[in-house]
Amino acid sequence: MVRRRTHLTFGGAWVFPGGRVDEIDRVGPDDDDGLTWARAAAVREVTEEIGVVLDGDALVWFSYWTPPVISPKRFGTHFFACAAAQGETAVVLDDAEADDWAWLRPVDAMDGHDAGTIELRVPTWITLEQLHRFATVDDALSHLATGAPERFGTVIANDDTSPVALYVGDAGYESGDATVDGPRHRLVMHADGWHYDRDGFISRQRTS
């Protein structure tokens, strides 16, 4: 993960390396999901940002995020996963977009967020929550490659105690009412730590 420079969008937040699709990535026809160009952009951006070369064919697309409609700037984001190639774990920052980096276990990044030492954005936090369940990289990639990529369209609400991000499958998603009883698929952003509440999903055991 890298820490975004403070003058940039999401400045100060720890994120996965990435960026936007540029004209150089728009080679050949794209598919309905924008996946071909997004994959090319992911490889290019990671190389530019941290000096790590990825195999585009090895990237596993596992989620797609769109921000709330109230967001001043909206863009869709593909999330990919892959194993680091032998000898490709040395990171060299380009200094333009990030000012720090670290290889982190998902649980350590989330614990850092709870402790206030690491700032995370919602899509990053939920992705870490999903990844922490797997003991190895191979386990994670095998699982992520088996199903269709999940699409997260965020609705922001409040449950009378904390801000809540609602997703498809939550009883309050369509109405935007986080107090409605029923199925749950949400991130509850308590002041002392965030909690992913999803039916059938085993959340991380917080250490704080």
Digit-coded pLDDT (tens) for 72-127? 777 889 999 999 876 667 888 887 888 999 999 999 999 999 999 999 999 999 99
Digit-coded pLDDT (tens) for 122-144? 999 999 999 999 999 999 999 99
Digit-coded pLDDT (tens) for 6-16? 776 667 899 99
Residues sharing a CB contact under 8 Å with residue 70, sequence separation 6 or more, in sequence order: 156
What is the pLDDT, as a whole number, of residue 208?
47
Residues sharing a CB contact under 8 Å with residue 119, sequence separation 6 or more, in sequence order: 12, 13, 14, 113
Model confidence, pTM = 0.90
Exposure on the CB side of residue 46, measured as CA atoms within 13 A? 22
Measured CA to CA in angstroms, residue 49 lies from 45, 96, 98, 129, 150 at distances of: 6, 8, 8, 24, 26
Digit-coded pLDDT (tens) for 21-72? 999 999 887 777 889 999 999 999 999 999 998 999 999 999 999 988 877 7
pLDDT band at 205 (very low <50, low <70, confident <90, very high): low
Domains of the chain, earliest start first: 2-153 (3.90.79.10), 154-208 (no CATH)
What is the pLDDT, as a whole number, of residue 90?
80
Whether 198 shows a pLDDT value over 90: the answer reads yes
